[in-house]
Structure 1
Amino acid sequence: MTLARSGAALDAVVRVERSGGFVLDVSVEAAAGEVVAVLGPSGAGKSTLLGALAGLDRLDAGHVRVADRVVSAPHHHVPPARRGVALLGQDPLLFPHLSARENVAFALRAGGVPRADARRRADRWLDRVGLGGLGRRRPSEMSGGQQQRAALARALAADPAVVLLDEPLTGLDVETASEIRGVLRDQLRATGVTAILVTHSAVDAAALADRVVIVEDGAVTQRGPVAEVLRAPSTRFVAAVAGLNRVRGTVRGGVWTGADGVGPVLDAAAAPEGEAHAVFRPGAVRLVEARDGAAGRPTPSGATWAARIVRIEPVPFGAVVQTTAPDVAAEIGTDVLADRVVQVGRDVCLGVDGAQVRFVPAPPPRDTLSP
């Protein structure tokens, strides 16, 4: 069995109209052997996109092309089983009455491989995903992680041109998810298969994908190399996924000020003029002062600003404090928590290290985003 191959390129322009007014209108491209992550909030249209690529949903406009073959168009639709596309989701969907070996062999036999050869190849695939010696077990005798490994083996054993991964790590505990993430990375690289990964996780995108496409409300809001997008988020959703603060504002005369005068005033001599987002990590924010409401609000100046605590989330090192006007998260240590100066509803003065702030130009309108 060949352990590496060149995946087929994917070119998709997808428009799907749903009852109720929702419209998915996005384009996704993946070069042969490339892994592209699709991130977006719930309801953004990610599952609809995968359904269109897999052939489960028909297009109202556009096309889906795998290599040089059009498999979807408004008046042309190749059935899912005949388009060379495999779909692996949150649920492994293994046949409960078949062993792991027979589940993997099923995909091979569906492609015309004789029974004995299919079983031999299934055993080799089970070895590759870390299930060597467990081929006789049925799904009910396997852990969730083992089931997902078997499902991955079944998907890749069929030698698909494109594999679609729909939140494959959701529902697994942290340790198991980490293990499966490693298996996915190794096998996607070893096979050279083209893959589209739908996920909510920046960790999954960074570990597995070459590029990322952000889909929000049925449209693409940002795309590019994973590290580039996560370093310079153009929307609130991307900033949240990347664990960054993103504050709207404007650069004029080499100085950045927050929208409506809210937030710090920062040196932005190296940034282009115009609307821009100040992007910085919660760890770059420091607590300067905290006061009870009756004692008056702290007085901001320069790179400090007044805000109000609206939420406190405990973490191992202390807490992440969420404030409003503007919406900014700050990391604080256990020593500050012990002083009890940080409480929901309390006014605080925050500061940020300007050297750790990046200025990201405001994104263009959605219809000007290029593929």
Structure 2
Amino acid sequence: MKVKVFLILGLLISISGYLADRFLFQGSKSTYQIPVNFEQCESLVYRLAEITSIVNLNTSVDAEKAIIPEAINSDNQLKEHEKLKKENEQQHHLIAMGIVIILLLIAMIFITLHHSRRKIKKANHSLSEFSNQIEQKAIALQLANESKDKFLSIISHDLKNPISAITGLSELLMDPTLEITEEERGKYLKYINDGCISADHLLENLMKWVRSQTGKLEMSPQEFDLLQPVNEAICLVQNAAIRKNISVTTSLKEGTKVYADHEMISTCIINLLSNAVKFTPHHGSIHIDAELRPELVKLHISDSGIGIPPENIQNLFHPEKKSGTLGTANEKGTGLGLLLVKEFIEKNNGTINVQSSVGAGSVFTLSLPHNNMELIEKMEPTRS
């Protein structure tokens, strides 16, 4: 750049010399003529240019000498930086792989623990179910033992007594040497008849109870009029009631219908009426009526008997806790009849309730479903 400047300056000097020689001093050879040597000027210019070039070259060489070490250092630094960068990247990769491995281990541990907990929970659930089954079987076994004990008690005591009485009295009447009046003979025959009725009633309840406990009792619910089984039950207890001068009446009207098993309900009414006669004193009364509700019928069997103490009411339907109370004519009972009543009523979606006080009689109330379609659909004929 500087060489070009010097060349331009030299060119301008030469031109100025040429013009001065041509126009200023042409035609007058004066002693004041200024001699101009353009070759010397040009030579001077070129020398200056060469010197400048040499100086510039030296400066460039010195600059290059200074740049080379810097470049070398910069290259080394770049290599060192790349090396450090690679090392950092490797460290980052190792850290990332470590984190991934740790996360995988944590996930595997969590999955294993979760799986183990599920197994433990399942095992605990199975153990709980097994324990419940054992408990239920233990309860069933206990009930079976109680039923067996009750059955043996009935066979050995409650059934044996009336049969023994019948046997003894019949043998006495068969003795040809016995001299008794007709009145006494009739009394003995009455005892025999009562024993036969008691034994028959007990055997009937016993067979139904056994069939119910073994699941062989057929249940056939249907809609029927309550007046029919009530009248049948009154006929069956009429002789016992007449002997004690007990009036048995009913205000039940025809058309009082329920949906239940006819035979079971008939058994319930007979047992309740028999108990009412047993625990009602001479010249007492028994009355049967019904209360109609939208969805059920309440059948009330009330008597003027001796009543039941409050502490005995809760044990009425548990024959193993029977109080041993005798009837007003020293009649004995097993408690099996009331047990059947409760079981049969509940099988027919009904309930039984007792209200009683000592000396004021008792009221047994059976609540049975009316001819309700929902209950009819629910109570399909089954085998209990």
Q: TM-score with structure 2 length normalisation?
A: 0.23
Rg (Cα) greater in structure = 2
Q: Which has a greater percent of strand? A: 1
Q: TM-score with structure 1 length normalisation?
A: 0.23
Q: Which has a greater percent of helix? A: 2
Between 1 and 2, higher relative CO (CA 8 Å, sep ≥ 6) is seen in: 1
